[in-house]
A and B are shown apart, each in its own frame.
Chain A
Amino acid sequence: MDFLSAHAEIIITLIKIALLMFIVLTVNAYLTWFERKVVAHMQSRWGPHRVGPHGLLQPLADGAKFLLKEDPTPAGVDKFVYFLAPLLALGLALTSIAVIPFGPDPIRVFGHNVYLYIANPSIGLLVLFAITALGVYGVALAGWSSNSKYPLLGGLRSSAQMISYELALTLSVVGVLLMANSFNLTEIINAQSHPAWGIGFLGWNIFSGPFPQILGFFCFFVAAIAETNRVPFDLPEAESELVAGFHTEYSSFKFAMFFIAEYTSMITVSCLCSILFFGGWLSPFPQSWTFTYYLPSLLLIPAGLWIIWDGIRYETIFGKVILPGLGTVFTLIGLALLLPQLQFINVFIQGPFWLLGKILVFLFVYVWMRGTLPRFRYDQLMAFGWKLLLPVSIVNVILTAFFILLRSKP
């Protein structure tokens, strides 16, 4: 017991890391399901629907497939670098989640305040950029070490693309930093909590004065999509020209590691967009509107009831059992949050609820773009990065600084 209380901080952090890893990997798995379903419906298809009801067990099947597949190492690869690359990609992507704060208030467990982040460094945003800067190596080294022309071309493209867009990515947040006066993500969110006329969303960086960061957000989101190698900037893995780009020679779980890394960085970018520009865990409504606290219940109960209704009509026996069960759980959680005795939980989940809602919106935008936009040509990509994003983000910095000076000097 003495040992436990003496090392409480470390033990709590380790448990938090394990928990967050589990959550992030699960969300990753279901993000693939979400993406396939949404893109399929955009293209008038059904998407995965064979494994489990509505294909809900598809991620599990995919995971098992990745684990059990043969894992050949091609001839002539640089062994050390070939094995290092996926490790680097996944390790860095997962590390970046550690500095994201998911809620304002700590949970009290055995007399210890457990905050909803793993680390809260005063230079949180710089840490994220440092990790992003190193993230290029995963892709570049994978392309080089595979000893094959398509991965090499993919790796080269990706290095050039990531160097080009990193500048715009970094410059586009300077406006936010100037307004918050801090690199710390928690302080950046708190700086957005003083809205005009008390209307929540008017305090968010994208709408609030002295200079609304609309340009900054545009540059940040576009550059971030390019950094994560997603459509329409997925040239490193353009399948029509480069087979599968930098991970052509990787199979089995090493391929899965690149895959998970990509989806994890999508989550990180969505978190950053919500935190930097859309007020993080702050509610868009005025603080006095306490009835908005029932929104989670208001969403959970109809969703649960709909899942029960859908489950009863489902064709397979398995679906008839699983879906109504899931729906009942949803409905019960929603009803429980309405109880007066559990109001402290309802108040506590408001922050995480809004942050997760915003993250989900950005993840949907990612998938939406994949479903609608064609890929850029390489010269278009470079011209867009250097001739549009970079100048616009510099103009944004200058304008923001100007308006902040104008306001501070009476």
Chain B
Amino acid sequence: MTASLLVFFVLAVLAVAGALSLIFQKHPIHSALSLIVVMVALAGLYLLMGAEFVAAVQIIVYGGAIMVLFVFVIMLLNAGLEEHTSISKLAGFPGILLALALTGFIGATVARSAGLTQVTTGNATIPGALSSTRELSTMIFKNFAYPFELTSFLILIAILGAIVLAHREN
């Protein structure tokens, strides 16, 4: 119990630190690396909740495939240091207001729920939770087969759109 709480806090701090570092790093590659830290920390959090399949897929898809693509593009464009512009009008006053509102919203939700210790109870499997690979596959391919197929269709359209856009200049 205490061990899993400790691991939770280590991973949580790692995730938040990674996210902050992602914003404040000057170089795109360093930002991308920070994002990888966030992804891996999130995978650790999923593992702590007993969702091992989701954790592994989080690392394979987000930590591996997608972030490799980011790093690849940054390397290919040989992007230099980020140029800092003066803060835009939208990001100024309304941005701070929105950020405060979001923080308040999340804080209120956490306060209304059963409290911090209950949230981090670790391995206790919540009924109906997506814990094992088998349950997850039953969910996706049996209970929610049509929404799942529709989503994949949507992604296919996006891929085709990307190809059409890339070929238009020729």
A contact residues vs B (CB 8 Å cutoff) = 78, 80-81, 84, 121-123, 126-127, 129-130, 132-134, 136-137, 140-141, 143-144, 152, 155-156, 159-160, 162-163, 166, 170, 183
Closest-by-CB residue of A relative to B43 is A130
Measured CB to CB, the closest approach of chain B to A95, in angstroms, equals 12
Q: Would A162 and B68 be within 8 Å (CB), given that A126-B60, A130-B60, A133-B60 are in contact? A: yes
Tell me if B49 is interfacial: C-beta within 8 Å of chain A.
no
Q: Are B56 and A127 in contact (CB under 8 A)?
A: yes
B52 touches A140 (CB 8 A): no
Contacts of A136 in B (CB 8 A): 64, 68
Q: Which residues of B contact A122 (CB under 8 A)?
A: 52
B residues lining the A interface (CB < 8 Å):
27, 29-30, 33, 36, 40, 43, 52-53, 56-57, 59-60, 63-65, 68-69, 71-72, 75-76, 78, 133
Q: Are B71 and A166 in contact (CB under 8 A)?
A: no
Contacting A159 at CB < 8 Å: which of B53, B57, B72? B72
The closest CB in chain A to the CB of B69 belongs to: A163
Question: Complex: how many Å from CA A123 to CA B59?
Answer: 13
Identify which of B57, B63, B64, B71 gathers the most chain A CB atoms within 10 Å of its CB. B64
List the A side residues contacting B36 at CB < 8 Å: 134, 137
Give the distance in Å from the alpha carbon of A162 to the alpha carbon of B29 in the complex. 19
Q: Across the interface, which residues of A come within 8 angstroms of B133, CB to CB?
A: 123, 183
A162 to chain B: which residues have CB within 8 Å? 68
**In whole angstroms, how far apart are the Cα atoms of A133 and B57 in the complex?**
10
Measured between beta carbons, the chain B residues less than 8 angstroms from A134 are 36, 40, 59, 63-64
- From known contacts A78-B29, A127-B56, infer whether A133 and B65 are also in contact, taking CB-CB under 8 Å: yes
| Distance in angstroms between the alpha carbons of A121 and B43 in the assembled complex | 15
CA distance A159 to B70 in the complex (A): 11
Closest to B57 in A: A126
CA gap between A166 and B61 in the complex, in Å: 11
Residues of A within 8 A of B52 (CB): 121-123, 126
Please report the C-alpha to C-alpha distance between residue A4 and residue B36 in the assembled complex, in whole angstroms: 38
Would you call A159 and B56 a contact (CB within 8 A)? no
**Do A156 and B76 contact each other (CB < 8 Å), given the known contacts A141-B71, A163-B65, A166-B65?**
yes
Which 10 residue pairs across A and B have the least CB separation, nearest first?
A: A133-B64, A126-B56, A130-B59, A159-B72, A133-B60, A144-B75, A123-B52, A130-B56, A136-B68, A130-B60
Q: Tell whether A123 pairs with B71 under 8 Å between CB atoms, given A129-B60, A156-B76.
A: no
A156 touches B56 (CB 8 A): no
With contact pairs A123-B52, A137-B36 given, residues A163 and B72 touching in the complex (Cβ less than 8 Å): yes
For A133, list chain B residues within 8 Å (CB).
59-60, 63-65, 68
Name the residue of chain B whose CB is nearest to the CB of A133: B64
Q: Is the CB of B64 within 8 A of A140?
A: no
Q: Chain A residues near B53: list those with CB within 8 A.
A: 123, 126
> What residue of chain B has the Cβ atom nearest to residue A131's Cβ?
B59
**Bound complex: CA of A302 vs CA of B161, how far in Å?**
66
Candidate in B68, B76, B78 with the most chain A CB atoms within 10 angstroms: B68
The verdict on A159 contacting B60 (CB below 8 Å), with A137-B36, A183-B133 known, is no
Complex Cα distance, B53 from A134, in Å, reads 17
Distance to closest chain B CB from A170 (angstroms): 8
- Give B40's nearest chain A residue, CB to CB: A134
Q: How far is the CA of A144 from the CA of B133 in the complex (A)?
A: 37
Min CB distance A100 to B, Å, is 16
Contacts A130-B63, A137-B71, A163-B68 given; indicate if A144 touches B56 (C-beta within 8 A). no
* A159: B residues at CB distance < 8 A: 68, 71-72, 75
A155 CB to closest chain B CB (Å) equals 6
If A81-B33, A156-B75 are given as contacts, then 9 extra A-B residue pairs at C-beta distance below 8 Å, sorted by A number, are A123-B53, A123-B133, A130-B64, A140-B72, A141-B71, A143-B75, A156-B72, A156-B76, A160-B72
